[in-house]
Structure 1
Amino acid sequence: MGEARKVRGAGTRLHQGIRTGLDALRNPGSPLSVLIAEDDQVTSRTMGLMIAWEFPHLTVDTVDNGERGVELFRQRLPDIVIADLDLPGKDGLQMAAEIKTLKKETPLIVVTGCSDRTQLARLCEIGVNHCILKPYKVQELFAAIESCIAQLTKETDVRSYTLF
């Protein structure tokens, strides 16, 4: 419990080190990274394996609580964060807010069983990119990840024009 786990799917290779952010986007072949914060081990492992299988170029790390999520985010600066809203200790809402404070442009996907309008409005205020309601279809999650990857790629393209 409380320990980060690296997930590898069938057909993926273990990446030596993690290059993230603009470095990963500018260097073909370097992995983008995803951080999953989910307290249910079965859900976390399943989600990580499905993402690794569908997106073999992504490095996937998982944590089981919000505090560890923020800690690992600070250490590794993952490109995309996926968080369950109902996490022990620091919940997904608090975790998302803190991550957006640390690195505003980080795409965030929140998965929740809660459909409370006040809480959903708060997610929008924080800047969460996608909110997926449980139960969800895996295609919804994949579409959200693809959208985040497109956003990261677009931001890199815009920055490269201003850099040169």
Structure 2
Amino acid sequence: MEPARNPAKSINILFVEDDRYARELIPLMISNKFPGVAIILADNGESGLELCRANEFDIVITDINMPDMDGIRMAGEIRGLKPDAKIIVMSGYSEKCYFDQLQDIGITDYILKPVDTKLLFLAIGKFIDQVMLKRHRPAVIN
């Protein structure tokens, strides 16, 4: 088993999920695997989008089916604000139309529910590595 990473405390994750149980349990599992990350919670897409407008998040994890604004629409709006946003979508839906909509907005990290934590942790770890690499890349001086 791979040891847990200990990323800088500055990794900020927005977790958007309307199911209270999942909204409580999954962030605990993420925090245990990736100590030091900050996780902010939202219970619907509209709240998640507002949080993204007011804050800087390194990773957004969202459900699709939520009240007020679904996760696909929210992800599209976030991409409009931040084209390089790192977004992971979790859903019980496996229909091709959802994959197509996500692919259209550039999201390839899609995890089916019930969530396989190994897949979720792999996706989060990949994005943490990308964020940390970008932050520690030396500046190019002309």
Give your verdict on TM over 0.5: yes
How far 1:163 moved relative to its partner? 5.1
For structure 2, the residue ranges without an aligned partner over 5 or more in a row are: 1-6
What aligned pairs does 1:150-161 form with structure 2 within 5 A after superposition? 150-157=129-136, 160-161=138-139
Mapped partners of 1:152, 1:124: distance in 2: 21
Deviation at 1:77, TM superposition (A): 1.4
CA distance in 2, matches of 1:132, 1:109: 8
**1:162 matches 2:135:** no
* Separation (CA, whole Å) in 2 of partners of 1:113 and 1:74: 27
**Letter in structure 1 aligned against 2:91:** T
The residue that corresponds to 1:101 in the other structure is 80
Identity %: 36
Which of residues 105, 121, 142 is equivalent to 2:100?
121
Selected match of 1:89 from 30, 43, 68: 68
RMSD over aligned Cα atoms: 1.7
Structure 2 Cα separation of the partners of residues 108 and 123 of structure 1? 10
Matches within 5 A, 1:117-156: 117-156=96-135
* Runs of 5+ unmatched residues, structure 1: 1-27
Amino acid across the alignment from 1:85: I
Matches within 5 A, 1:1-164: 29-157=8-136, 160-162=138-140
Q: How many residues align?
A: 136
CA change 1:163–1:129 in 2 (3 A) is farther
CA distance in 2, matches of 1:95, 1:72: 11
Cα 1:124–1:155 shift into 2, 3 Å: farther
Partner in structure 2 of residue 6 of structure 1? none
The amino acid of 1:140's aligned partner reads L
TM-score, normalization by structure 1: 0.77
Contact 1:107 1:129 in 2 (8 A): no
The one-letter code of the counterpart of 1:131 is Y
